[in-house]
Amino acid sequence: MLAMGLAQGTAVAGPSSPAAGTGARAAAADDPYTQAFLTQYGKIKAASNGYFSPDGLPYHSVETLMVEAPDHGHQTTSEAVSFWMWLEAAYGRVTGDWAPFNAAWAVAEKTIIPQHADQSTADSYNPSSPATYAPEHPLPSGYPSALDATVKVGTDPLATELASSYGTMDVYGMHWLMDLDNVYGYGNKPGTGGESGPGAGASFINTYQRGAQESVWETVPQPTTDLFKYGGPNGYLDLFVDDASYAKQYKYTNAPDADARAVQAAYWAYRWASAQGKASDVSASVAKAAKMGDYLRYAMFDKYFKRVGDCTDPASCPAASGRDSQHYLLSWYYAWGGAAAGSGGGWAWRIGDGASHQGYQNPLAAWALSNVPSLTPKSATARSDWSKSLTRQLEFLTWLQSSEGAFAGGCTNSWEGSYSKPPAGTPTFYGMAYDWQPVYHDPPSNNWFGFQAWGMERLAAYYHETGNATAEAVLSKWVAWASSETTVGADGSFRFPSTLNWSGQPDTWNAASPGANAGLHVTVVDYANDVGVGAAYVKTLTYYAAKSGDEDAAALAKALLDAMALNATDKGISVPETRKDYNRFNDEVYIPDGWSGTMPNGDTIEPGSTFIGIRSWYKDDPDWPKVQAYLDGGAAPTFTYHRFWAQAALALAFAIYAELLVEGGSEPGGDTEPPTVPAGLTVTATTSNSVSLSWSASTDNVAVTGYDVYRNGVLAGNATTRTFTDPDLAAATEYSYAVAARDAGGNTSALSAAVTATTKTGGSTGTGAVKIQYRNSDSNSSDNQIRMGLQVLNTGSAPIDLSTVKVRYWFTADGGPSTFGTYCDYAALGSSNITHSVVAVSSPKTGADRYLEVGFTGGAGTLAAGASTGELQLRLNKSDWSNFNESNDYSRATNTAYADSSKVGAYVAGTLAWGVEP
């Protein structure tokens, strides 16, 4: 048992303790760590402390004079918003009040998630031509970069599926950066798609457009919707892209780690609210997170949808179709844009990114999006994408773990951002080149210990929820290394690694036999006591200790948490930091020769401009004299910052420690009673590659929070409801299943009585309940092609093996030859997984002497209950290209939006399952 460490008198200012009857946990705020959470929460939410803008968004920091990833403290990032969502989820667990969590999502939708007015020409997007290629360059001086239409780009396999799922071509993701006080003066306000200039209100902005060496000190900020009102004659566009002419446009950039954290926050909210019997209170917000996770899959694709692996020349690297461009990792960004409203253009673009950093991966989010029904996205292929991403992320972390235990940088499918050839001997991960400093180089991206702590916190949370053996092995090695480099003094001082140095490289990845990475090493250059990083580190140790029982990790988590709590301020918890890097305020910002323009406040942008020269308003900041004195030769200035993400992370560290190591049983008075054993385990359905199960509810003295499903004695997955489908199994194979219940304290019941299930031979179809939706893709009924869109929906309660499904569209040949050409121009499942041919009807009927039969290969997989295949874009022609008369065709209709069609038939295992034959 661990003794309490927070001093008496640490609690509690701010929100009141939860009232009886709220459905919150049993130990309602009586322990000092929950009290510390409420105190920290109260400081963050107190209006007088200045954490939130008038629009209700969290600032990056309370203080304004700050240059790091954002270049002003009163900007915000999607990262801060995602921490806000998680903070409110933790508050809901403690108090039973879920209104603040829902409010965070509502504010995000009105502000940082671009509305339709902010991406008004999204309907013009062509998935077959996602974007025009422009190479990246190592230095800002390599820009503007010339567009090169001769380099082939691949096909976007997500867009049509997403549009079908949500009824819009708009992208649902957070833009990464906003100027909440409109300090720059663009006035690019959410919901307007324009530039209203200086004045109150938040503004979309963007930075970082010029290669890996461009640091925050070398950026030229610009509005996301560039209407040429500021900058030069072409706005800011010709600083970044060299083109024959320029069009007014919008462009947004998504930070995938932030959107994944928002999903993570929604998972916790759902889990905790469910334990309180309040799942319905958060269901709408959880559905928004699932939708965000659907679009977040763009982070899994190469930037220009080129083939993943061995892509070392822009001209010869193939443009991909289907899933060949998908690497299944969380890359550094995805982005989208298009013509500004009223600009006279109708075009839009989307890109992914081939560079992936270890610190951006989120196994917990991937697991939740592929295993928790309430978080499963609507799109047909989303669940399988996230399931494969989970496996790939775990492999990625295993590949990058050094001999000591820390994680090296990452990989890229596009060396130097231009599909160049990596140096000889560079190891690879699924054909992608190892990069010790992926994405940015000033400073090297993987030298910051924070990326270690951030990434491991997510892995540890996943391990805590699932007990995954790979996660446990990776974590145990990392925890041992990090712990050996951490000290906590008797006086409350503490330190852990800050800057890391890397040598050697990992072994080329072999999934069947991973290497030991004997030549990959990390050393610690210096140490720090950053409280935000410390909070992530404590969460990692807490999740790991609660699941593994590692008492040393639990003790270190407690010691660090207690030491950080001693640094309380009126606004939160913070330690002073000396900013030697502020000598860079006078750094030159590269501007090409001959280019000139102005910022909204009149600052000139021209060759020789400096960081402060195009941000002269900084000299009006109350803290500027400290910086000026440093620039004049004095000592480096010291600041005590209150970054929102760090303060929220500290609050969460208190809450999670209280939940898992106080309430969870490692501290006196914790919950040690396991739930009752699940009863009534039943096999409800089988297919050739899946087994579906259900069971009766367990009970617990506090609350049951989930169930662990074991296949042949090994954990197969987790469920928050009393049903589970185990996918990707072998056909005609017997499996044994048992289920255990668990509670919020980490207690697990004994296993239920086992049941056996045998998957069917190939061709099993589950319930066989499907329907067909159709749209007419060609208004001309007398031309030489028949064009249509079809999608199959599983209306049953079990997965369907798509290889057993056939779809028939009946038509008349209207004379001419008896041979036909058939084509699948696009399929959300991949065109290569779709079969199509014309078959003659044995006994012709009115309106039907032929039918187009559409089927699926084994590669299409299964269609989950309630899911859709997404759009299939199909067409056919006679071999002599003579005209049809479609007006009398049985299956043809005139609707141009998808609708149920009873005149298009669906057959499952040869039996008509939908529609009326002619």
* DSSP 8-state code for residue 748: B
Helix (H, G, I), strand (E, B) or coil at 623: coil
Q: Are 854 and 904 in contact (CB under 8 A)?
A: no
**C-alpha distances in Å from residue 16, one per residue of 42, 88, 366:** 9, 15, 35
Task: Single out the residue of 333, 311, 390 nearest to residue 151, CA to CA.
Answer: 311
Annotation says 708 is catalytic:
no
Helix (H, G, I), strand (E, B) or coil at 16: coil
- Residue appearing with tokens 């963007």: 206
Task: Single out the residue of 821, 782, 833, 793 nearest to residue 915, CA to CA.
Answer: 793
Residue of 491, 593, 620, 632 marked active site: 491
Q: Are 407 and 300 in contact (CB under 8 A)?
A: no
Task: Single out the residue of 820, 788, 635, 482 nearest to residue 627, CA to CA.
Answer: 635
Structural tokens at position 2: 């661990």
By residue count, the chain amounts to: 918
How far is the C-alpha of 671 from the C-alpha of 31, rounded, in Å?
13
Say if residue 473 is exposed, middle or buried (CB neighbours under 10 Å; 0-12, 13-18, 19+).
middle
Task: Single out the residue of 106, 107, 98 nearest to residue 270, CA to CA.
Answer: 98
Helix (H, G, I), strand (E, B) or coil at 46: coil
Q: Hey, how many other C-beta atoms are within 10 angstroms of the C-beta on 177?
A: 25
Q: What are phi and psi of 359, to 5 degrees?
A: -75, -5
Say if residue 373 is exposed, middle or buried (CB neighbours under 10 Å; 0-12, 13-18, 19+).
middle
- 145-146/241-242 β-pairing: parallel
- Residue appearing with tokens 């709590």: 565
Say if residue 477 is exposed, middle or buried (CB neighbours under 10 Å; 0-12, 13-18, 19+).
middle
Task: Single out the residue of 365, 334, 458, 353 nearest to residue 407, CA to CA.
Answer: 458
Gyration radius from the chain CA atoms: 28
How far is the C-alpha of 693 from the C-alpha of 70, rounded, in Å?
49
* DSSP 8-state code for residue 903: T
**E strand or H helix that includes residue 838:** strand 834-845
- Residue appearing with tokens 């160049």: 420
Q: Are 410 and 446 in contact (CB under 8 A)?
A: yes
Say if residue 654 is exposed, middle or buried (CB neighbours under 10 Å; 0-12, 13-18, 19+).
buried
**C-alpha distances in Å from residue 619, one per residue of 163, 303, 395, 444:** 47, 39, 49, 29
From first CA to last CA, the distance across the chain in angstroms is 75
Say if residue 424 is exposed, middle or buried (CB neighbours under 10 Å; 0-12, 13-18, 19+).
exposed
Task: Single out the residue of 675, 690, 875, 663 nearest to residue 790, CA to CA.
Answer: 875
Q: What angle do CA 845, 851, 857 make, to 5 degrees?
A: 150
Helix (H, G, I), strand (E, B) or coil at 345: coil
Structural tokens at position 703: 């609350």
Within 13 Å, how many C-alpha atoms sit on residue 203's CB side?
Answer: 26
- Residue appearing with tokens 């013009």: 124
Q: Are 302 and 308 in contact (CB under 8 A)?
A: yes
State yes or no: cis peptide before 70, omega within 30 of 0: no
Q: Hey, how many other C-beta atoms are within 10 angstroms of the C-beta on 456?
A: 30
How far is the C-alpha of 286 from the C-alpha of 377, rounded, in Å?
10
Which residues are identified as catalytic? 491
